[in-house]
Amino acid sequence: MLEQIVQIVSNERSTDSYYRLVVRAPQIAPRIQPGQFAHVRILPMKDALLRRPFSIFQVEGDTFSILYKTVGKGTVALARMQSGEELSVIAPLGHGFTVPQPGAETPLLVAGGYGMAAMYLLARRSPQKGIVFVGGRRRVDILCEREFQDLGWEVRVTTEDGSHGEKGLVTQPLLAELKSAQRGRKLFACGPTPMLQAVGKIAGEHDVPAELSMDEHMCCGVGVCLTCVIRVRSGDTWEYRRTCTEGPVFDARDVVWEEAR
């Protein structure tokens, strides 16, 4: 983990409300593992003080990028920033995905919305190619289809409104795939919490291992404030663990889901 002021190389709209931001960070870039995140201080936000966490999307040479959706103050302010401007970044943070070993299970990646961002590096670094299941509300929420195809991965798209790919939820083609009864698969998922919970349940029912990247509100991002905790199994009971430090990636079997809020 390093804290650095980094320069924006580019910050462009990708589709609809999704943007891609590339920053030059020569010390940080080589250390990044799939599933890790960057904690970004968006300096133009004056009265909103906290950093915002974003999965690291791609790493190229001495740069890394994030893929983000504008949802509130911070992301809107970020979208207005231009190349040459500076951001303060603490990265790489967190415990990421286990990169598949040669000959290990076939990876099945499950992504919803900006959850796709956390998946690219995993696919890129995995010696095994697999299938990416990507879901979103509408066509514009389907990100990076081409990128995954270019890596030689099969991509199965679902949209809730049927505007692209199969109509429905991302878990439908996933279930169909698991029912095809092939052995030796492992799930990796990142997306909205209800999707993660559904994937965790499916993994349990089909007895397939799964790693989930949890999306929790954060404050410090480095393990001191105890904002980002989730319930994790510990013996017969559970304890709170920090998403920013012990996560964001957890083994699905360890996550204890709270009742829907």
Ligand X SMILES: Cc1cc2nc3c(=O)[nH]c(=O)nc-3n(C[C@H](O)[C@H](O)[C@H](O)COP(=O)(O)OP(=O)(O)OC[C@H]3O[C@@H](n4cnc5c(N)ncnc54)[C@H](O)[C@@H]3O)c2cc1C
**Binding residues vs another protein (CB under 8 A):** 1-3, 41, 47-51, 88, 90, 216-217, 219-220, 222-230, 239-240, 245, 258
For residue 164, give the DSSP letter: S
Q: Is 52 in the site for ligand FES (CB under 6 A)?
A: no
Dihedral sign for Cα 37, 43, 45, 46, please.
positive
How many residues touch ligand X under the rule CB under 6 A: the total is: 22
For residue 140, give the DSSP letter: G
- Of 227, 233, 238, 254, the one binding ligand FES by CB under 6 A: 227
Q: Nearest Cα to 250, choosing from 21, 97, 56?
A: 97
230 vs 150: CA distance, rounded Å: 36
- Of 9, 77, 104, 219, the one binding ligand FES by CB under 6 A: 219
- Of 9, 50, 104, 175, the one binding ligand X by CB under 6 A: 50
Site map 73..102 versus ligand X, x via CB under 6 A: xxx---------------------------
Q: Is 226 in the site for ligand FES (CB under 6 A)?
A: yes
Q: Is 68 in the site for ligand X (CB under 6 A)?
A: yes
User: Which H or E element spans position 114?
Assistant: none
39 vs 86: CA distance, rounded Å: 14
250 in Cβ contact with 240 (< 8 Å): no
Residue 181, CB half-sphere, CA atoms under 13 Å: how many? 0
Residues 165-184 that bind ligand X (CB under 6 A): none
| ∠ Cα 197 113 115 (to 5°) | 65
Task: Give the interface with ligand FES as residue ranges (CB under 6 A).
Answer: 218-221, 223-228, 242, 244
Task: Give the interface with ligand X as residue ranges (CB under 6 A).
Answer: 37, 50, 52-55, 66-69, 71-75, 114, 117, 215-218, 248
